Amino acid sequence: MVDWVMHSRGEVSWITFPGTEASGLTLAFTTRKGGASRGRYAGLNLSPKDGTASARRQNMASVADALKLPAAPLFPVQKHTADLSVVGFLPRRRPVADGLLTNVPGLPLGVVVADCAPVVLWNPTARAVAVLHCGWRGVVAGIIEAAAVEMARRFGAGPLHAYVGPAIGMCCYVVGLDVAEAVAGSGDNPLLGSHFASDSQGLLRFDLAGHVRDRLALVGVPPDNIEVVELCTSCESELFYSYRRDGVTGRCAAIAMIR
């Protein structure tokens, strides 16, 4: 396990893990710092649809420049599903999916989040990457399992490395019994239902990042290859957007590109 690091270039700040660039992967979990967006979306809002078009274009250009990308990242139309799209080039229309996969160098892919867990799967042997949007609905639908299977089927074997970006923490994530039942019932392993706890007021809280981490291990990612940014998006208001905290708000992003 290694500690994450914060990088900045210009006004853009992002989180990454040491060693990813040397292995051939550009990896970034963006923060909201900098950016041209104002009002409810203030900061580096990377939502492809929220806020003004001019601010969105400026923010995308700033990120591409800071990360030294050849183009703005491709973000899918996200629906909280387990749907995946294998990408070989930048399409004219955004794919409808919650995960993007590629083995093409120089093709920046991403997902946007504001409390959900962004996950990047990297196979340095096959030189293939997946970027996943993991909310509780997508996790229950099996997006992590689907991505692991599709990575192996499309691109070949090799140990996966998984990077889990900032997500809402158990401290702030109150859910209903329906969520707990859906998550616990989404597989046969009792570990899947172990990430809930009731607080002193009887509120049910969910450890989304911990659940994602354990689910990654269950699909075969070596535990030593799973890295988690243990920051709560709801608590860290200066760094991240949070739907649970603010309602209408912007989006941070997970971005990955094979070098």
> How many CA within 13 A on the CB side of residue 176?
2
pTM above 0.95, yes or no: yes
> Alpha-carbon distance 106 to 90, whole Å?
10
User: In this predicted model, what pLDDT tens digit does every residue of 79-127 receive, in sequence order?
Assistant: 999 999 999 999 999 999 999 999 999 999 999 999 999 999 999 999 9
For the chain, how many structural domains are there in total?
1
The per-residue pLDDT for 1 is 62
> Which pair of tokens denotes residue 99?
């995960």
What is each CA distance from 139 to 59, 147, 160, 191, in whole angstroms? 29, 11, 18, 14
pLDDT of 9 above 90: yes
Residue 172's CATH number: 3.60.140.10
pLDDT tier at 157, thresholds 50, 70, 90 = confident
Is 217 strand, coil or helix? helix
| Residue 98 domain boundaries | 5-258
